[in-house]
């Protein structure tokens, strides 16, 4: 019996059953591993020139094994220590995944005919471009890294029996994954959704890297000279490696081409299987590749602008973390908890503000701040704040379905750990609405209270799966007596308002205090769909 097969019996099984939804059964996986689990492939980010590549290949797991520590204010204003072990170790401890190495992960794959689905693999694409192995290195090319990724994915599918893999990528690694999905596989006539189940990206520059200084000169200089290989973040190179032959128009990107958008139609990867984690803290990202956060601008993670860090139509979460380093997205509890719930959760909740009507005041911009917390987690999984340069703009136009502004995607798992004695999955969504007044491009502060919101409240949602369907109760914090911890909802469960739509949908009216501002019809729309 192999080393991993002996361990598999001790690994807690994730129950794939969805109590309120019908989940298709999967055939048993080889070696007694858990059906429904797929191998996870990590893809690292940009290392720069040969010296940077040489430094990157020294790490056995390309940095995904690194954790972090930080302090927060505890009781009596004393610092409290918090330790995050690393995403690789946490997936091993929490989900029973294995990191398999015998002189190298590639060597392990070659020596074994079967591997467990619950396994983690690091795509070491930079190794062939390093000079530390003694040979004259090749010049890095992103398309070659994507082809190598395809070979790895094919081997993992064959030896694990899993139909697909999860891709988890940091920074440029997300562009390598998208090159595989948008160019390599379509050019081979292959459906990318047959190879990859989900794509999760940390701080990927889906829209390239641009700067707040230089009036575009720095970008042009980078793209012409290809300094340290950084031209991969410019529009011409991005168009080359993100566009299949069937979709190419001329030699360069056509007018209006948006690198962030993934193509639709035949041989396309669905964007609802993509999750983009966006960093909003440039301060903890000092200098990399000669570029500082001051060059990129405040509205960024220090290297990637917020507006360039997501794919339109994908699930997006914003966290106050920097691009990389000890306070970076990958080495954070925030990043890991979003990843874990996206990969292993069984319910997806889309929360939107609908049917609102704000006062029509000249030169006034209305913004919302949103924070999402999940019971049992020591972090906020999603926060869009004005102080972090990413509030929600309340400028949605009315459509046939009414006014709707998405606020958050929440992933929950009925089998993920919860505090003892807590049968329901509980999450809270904090909502604040603020007015920003300007005239002639300048902010006006008359009759203004800085950081004071025009509306603020928190919706506490208890979600309990049951054999008869979803049982969801929701209360606004303003009407909860006592502490939220001791709150036991006693109101009638929300009813499914669209039972034939394929998703569970309910609306929660905003408190009466919001009526003068957002209108009597303003509600939060909760849409629940199965996720596995």
pLDDT at site 286 = 62
CA distances from 504 to 16, 81, 470, 471, 530 (A): 19, 40, 8, 10, 9
CA distances from 179 to 192, 195, 520 (A): 11, 13, 47
| Whether 319 and 462 share a structural domain | no
pLDDT at site 420 = 74
Closest CA to 23 of 14, 36, 11: 36
Secondary structure of residue 274 in the 3-state scheme: strand
Residue-wise pLDDT tens digits, 379-435: 999 999 999 999 999 976 555 556 899 999 999 998 887 777 777 899 999 999 998
CATH code of the domain containing 171: 3.40.50.1820
| Whether 395 and 500 share a structural domain | yes
| Whether 296 and 265 share a structural domain | yes
Q: pLDDT tens, position by position, for the chain (532 residues)?
A: 333 433 333 333 323 334 444 444 444 444 445 556 999 999 999 998 888 999 999 999 999 999 988 776 666 777 778 899 999 999 999 999 999 999 999 999 999 999 999 999 999 999 999 998 777 678 899 999 999 999 999 999 999 999 999 999 999 999 999 999 999 999 999 999 999 999 999 999 999 999 887 777 888 888 888 888 899 999 999 999 999 999 999 888 999 999 999 999 999 999 999 999 999 999 888 654 445 677 888 899 999 999 999 999 999 999 999 999 888 999 999 999 999 999 999 999 999 999 999 887 777 888 999 999 999 898 999 999 999 999 999 976 555 556 899 999 999 998 887 777 777 899 999 999 998 877 666 666 666 666 678 999 999 999 987 666 789 999 999 999 999 988 988 889 999 999 888 899 999 999 999 999 999 999 999 999 999 7
| Whether 335 and 472 share a structural domain | no
Residue 12, in any domain of the structure = no
Last residue of a domain, one of 294, 321, 344: 344
Opening angle at CA 526, ends 521 and 527, nearest 5: 125
Residue 419, in any domain of the structure = yes
| Whether 95 and 218 share a structural domain | yes
| Whether 168 and 137 share a structural domain | yes
pLDDT at site 362 = 77
Write down how long the chain is.
532
Tokens for 120? 């983690």
Residue 37, in any domain of the structure = no
Residue 130, in any domain of the structure = yes
| Whether 339 and 376 share a structural domain | no
Please give the tally of structural domains in the chain: 2
| Structural domain boundaries, residue 287 | 43-344
| Whether 273 and 375 share a structural domain | no
Residue 437, in any domain of the structure = yes
Residue 18, in any domain of the structure = no
Alpha-carbon gap, residue 162 to 297, rounded angstroms:
43
* C-alpha 444: how far from chain center: 36
Whether 89 contacts 65, CB under 8 Å: yes
Please report the DSSP string for 180-234 in residue order. IIIIIHHHTT--GGGTEEEEEEES--TT----SSGGGHHHHHHHHH-GGGGGGGS
Residue 23, in any domain of the structure = no
Secondary structure of residue 357 in the 3-state scheme: coil
Beta carbons within 8 Å of 302's beta carbon, 6+ residues apart: 279, 281, 282, 283, 284, 285, 286, 288, 293, 296, 322, 323
| Whether 354 and 472 share a structural domain | yes
Closest CA to 522 of 407, 411, 382: 407
Alpha-carbon gap, residue 28 to 26, rounded angstroms:
6
Alpha-carbon gap, residue 202 to 310, rounded angstroms:
9
Bridge partners for 427 per DSSP:
374, 461
Phi, psi of 413 (to 5 degrees): -130, 120
| Whether 309 and 373 share a structural domain | no
Residue-wise pLDDT tens digits, 45-101: 999 888 899 999 999 999 999 998 877 666 677 777 889 999 999 999 999 999 999
| Whether 445 and 313 share a structural domain | no
pLDDT at site 506 = 96
Whether 200 contacts 41, CB under 8 Å: no
pLDDT at site 226 = 83
Last residue of a domain, one of 344, 360, 388: 344
Backbone region of residue 223 per phi and psi (left: phi > 0; alpha: psi in -120 to 50; beta: other values):
alpha
| Whether 330 and 409 share a structural domain | no
Residue 125, in any domain of the structure = yes
Last residue of a domain, one of 344, 369, 392: 344
């Amino acid at each position: 019996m192999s080393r991993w097969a002996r361990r598999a019996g001790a690994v807690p099984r994730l129950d794939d059953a969805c109590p309120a939804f019908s989940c298709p059964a999967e055939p048993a996986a080889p070696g007694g591993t858990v059906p429904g689990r797929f191998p996870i492939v990590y893809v690292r980010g940009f290392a720069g020139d040969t010296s940077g590549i040489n430094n990157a290949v020294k790490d056995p797991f390309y940095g995904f094994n690194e954790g972090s520590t930080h302090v927060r204010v505890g009781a009596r204003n004393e610092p409290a220590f918090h330790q995050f072990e690393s995403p690789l170790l946490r997936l091993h401890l929490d989900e029973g995944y294995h990191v398999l190495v015998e002189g190298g992960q590639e060597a392990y794959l070659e020596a074994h005919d079967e591997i467990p689905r619950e396994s983690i693999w690091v795509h070491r694409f930079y190794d062939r471009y390093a000079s530390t192995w003694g040979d004259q290195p090749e010049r890095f090319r992103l398309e070659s890294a994507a082809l190598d990724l395809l070979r790895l994915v094919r081997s993992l599918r064959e030896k694990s029996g899993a139909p697909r893999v999860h891709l988890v990528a940091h920074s440029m690694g997300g562009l390598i994954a998208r090159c595989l999905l948008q160019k390599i596989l379509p050019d081979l006539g292959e459906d990318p959704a047959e190879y990859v189940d989900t794509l999760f990206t940390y701080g990927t520059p889906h829209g390239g890297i641009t700067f707040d200084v230089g009036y575009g000169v720095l970008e042009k200089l980078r793209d012409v000279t290809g300094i340290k290989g950084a031209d991969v973040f410019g529009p011409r190179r991005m168009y080359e490696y993100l566009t299949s032959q069937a979709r190419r128009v001329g030699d360069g990107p056509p007018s209006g081409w948006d690198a962030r958008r993934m193509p639709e139609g035949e041989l396309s990867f669905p964007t609802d299987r993509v999750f983009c984690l966006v960093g909003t803290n440039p301060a903890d990202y000092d200098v990399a590749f000669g570029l500082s956060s001051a060059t990129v601008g405040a509205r960024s993670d220090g290297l990637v602008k917020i507006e360039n860090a997501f794919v339109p139509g994908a699930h997006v979460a914003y966290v106050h973390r920097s691009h990389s380093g000890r306070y970076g997205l990958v080495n954070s509890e925030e990043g890991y908890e979003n990843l874990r719930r996206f990969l292993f959760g069984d319910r997806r909740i889309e929360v939107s503000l609908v049917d609102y009507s704000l006062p029509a005041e000249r030169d006034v911009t209305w913004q919302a701040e949103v924070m999402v917390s999940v019971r049992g987690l020591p972090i906020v999984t999603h926060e869009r704040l004005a102080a972090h340069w990413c509030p929600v703009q309340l400028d949605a136009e009315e459509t046939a379905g009414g006014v709707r502004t998405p606020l958050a995607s929440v992933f929950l798992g009925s089998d993920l750990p919860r505090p003892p004695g807590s049968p329901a999955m509980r999450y809270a969504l904090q909502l604040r609405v603020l007015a920003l007044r300007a005239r002639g491009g300048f902010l006006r502060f008359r009759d203004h209270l800085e950081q004071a919101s025009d509306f603020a409240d928190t919706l506490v949602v208890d979600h309990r799966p049951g054999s008869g369907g979803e049982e969801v109760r929701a209360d606004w914090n303003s009407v909860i007596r006592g502490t939220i911890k001791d709150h036991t909802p006693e109101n009638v469960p929300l009813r499914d308002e669209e039972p034939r739509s394929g998703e569970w949908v309910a609306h929660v009216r905003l408190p009466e205090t919001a009526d003068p501002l957002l209108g009597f019809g303003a509600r939060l729309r909760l849409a629940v769909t199965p996720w596995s």
